[in-house]
Amino acid sequence: MTILDRPSPNFGPRRGEAGPTLVVLHFTGMESTEAALDRLCDPDCEVSSHYLICRSGQVFRLVDEAKRAWHAGEGRWAGREDVNSRSVGIELDNDGQAPFAEPLMRSLETLLADILGRHDMHPKAVIGHSDFAPDRKADPGRKFDWKRLAEKGLSIWPEPSLPGDFMRNAASFGYPVELGEALILDAFRQRFRPDASGPRGPADDAMMAGLARHFPADVGERMSRRVPSRPLRPMS
């Protein structure tokens, strides 16, 4: 897979971090790839990401991974703020309503395998914008196939466990529970139970318990390498 460079001026130094320990997935929510690139490279917009993946599967690099791109905004994951300083941001060319294109998903899988391998990240480190900012964001949304990534070792999927306190387990997994149960339940369902609706039920409790049991936040974001690193060929 080749990567095209489309440098954005919107970045700065990482603050107090040696390197990224998270990967954050977004959807662009825009009418075209070019419109998204223009916005991400516009200094007046003050927004960017490290990568953008088109529906066609083409990958653009906008900001070097060593730098702090401006994609996350306010939010908290695993009890820590400034997600920009500790993450690699990947924008996916999608409007949030349609299924994600197959070429895009294949390129994302290749890119994630490379990032996780180079930075020794556990698959748990791959999160969505809505995971840590559910009061502001809904991306990558209910159409994104998280289970597919988990099956390839590029994210995680919970095995239901003995239900416990939903919000206590949500905090153990990393969710910002200070925002309240309604927002946390919605963020959880967007990712793990996209077809669910209505009041919280036993299935929600069991899956959240599985997340807390097998993927607690205090395990840390960086663990031993779990996926092979496949070199990518940059193209200027």
Contact 50, 89 (CB under 8 A): yes
Whether 102 is catalytic:
no
Q: What is the largest CA-CA distance in the chain?
A: 52
Long-range contacts, 196-204 (Cβ 8 Å, 24+):
200/166, 202/163, 203/160, 204/166
CA distance 43 to 45: 5
Active-site residue, from 91, 102, 151, 159: 91
Q: Which residue(s) pair with 23 in the sheet?
A: 88, 126
Return the H-helix or E-strand segment holding 12.
Answer: strand 11-13
The answer for residues whose C-beta is within 8 angstroms of residue 11's C-beta and 6 or more apart is 48, 63, 64, 67, 68, 69, 70
What sign does the CA torsion over 194, 85, 45, 101 have?
negative
Listed in order, strand segments (DSSP E) in 39-86 are 51-53, 59-61, 67-69
* Radius of gyration for the chain, computed over Cα atoms and rounded to the nearest angstrom: 17
Q: Of 114, 128, 148, 149, nearest to 225 (Cα)? A: 114
**How many helices (H) does the chain have, and how many strands (E)?**
7, 9
Q: Which residues are known catalytic residues?
A: 91
